[in-house]
Amino acid sequence: MKTEDLVSLLAAGVPAVDHNVSAKRFSWAMLCGGAGSAVLMAIVFGIRPDIGTVMKTALFWIKLALPLCLGLAALLVTARLSRPGMPVGRAWAGLAVPVLAVWIAALVLLWLTPPDARLPLVLGETWRVCPLNIALLSVPVFITVFWAMRGLAPTRPRLAGAAGGLVAGATATVAYCFHCPEMGVPFWAVWYLLGMLIPTLAGAVLGPRLLNW
């Protein structure tokens, strides 16, 4: 048998590779997980009663931009870490930029604020529950994102798990923004990021166990 015939025989019946499998899995994961977080937020916490008025302000959309930008950057990193040999490259910068932006803005605002008013600006009224609320809302997305990654082939499961956890935390924070009454940048810079950090650390811890293949 000729080499060409052998190759043809071995290749016969092999299904075509779906090059969009990663995009499809993550699209379903974000759609189902995001909807789950939104519904959970509405049931457990409820939408803030003045949401219609607040949404007309620029500050609300600035608040929403922090987790939205972090979530998109984390999703790109997660998708790349889920495929063997796929470099993350400059996608790491997408994670740093929103964090640095909110920290710089918070520091400027605190510097311009009288010393006795700085701590209340950081703590707000809900600092005790904010990170835990975000962590709770991240559970649906955490489950669906890890489902998406398990169907691929991450070779760095701890790092991929952390990135997936950040996707879950950021998506949960987007949903939480429609409930949270806090409108202070220093508050977001501390407690929103801490809330997103919880599922990120959970992903790093659980990644090697849940993403083995």
pLDDT one-digit tens code per residue, 66-113:
999 999 999 999 999 988 877 787 888 889 999 999 999 999 999 999
In a domain? residue 196:
yes
Q: Report the amino acid identity of residue 170.
A: A
Q: For residue 52, is it within any domain?
A: no
Task: Please report whether residue 34 resides in a domain.
Answer: no
C-alpha separations of 44 from 4, 48, 129, 138 in Å: 63, 12, 13, 13
Question: pLDDT tens across 108-150, in order?
Answer: 999 999 999 999 999 999 999 999 999 999 999 999 999 999 8
- The span from the CA of 98 to the CA of 104, in Å, is 10
Is 83 a domain residue?
A: yes
Whether 186 contacts 124, CB under 8 Å: no
Nearest to 105 by CA among 141, 63, 143: 63
**Which pTM was predicted?**
0.88
Range of the domain at 140: 57-210
44 located within any domain:
no
Instruction: Quote the number of domains for the chain.
Output: 1
To the nearest 10 degrees (0 to 180), the angle between helices 130-137 and 21-44 is: 130
The reply to whether 156 falls in a domain is: yes
Q: 112 vs 13, which has greater pLDDT?
A: 112
Would you say residue 113 lies in a domain? yes
Tokens representing 203 are 């992903």
Residue 40 lies in a domain: no
What average pLDDT is seen over the chain? 90
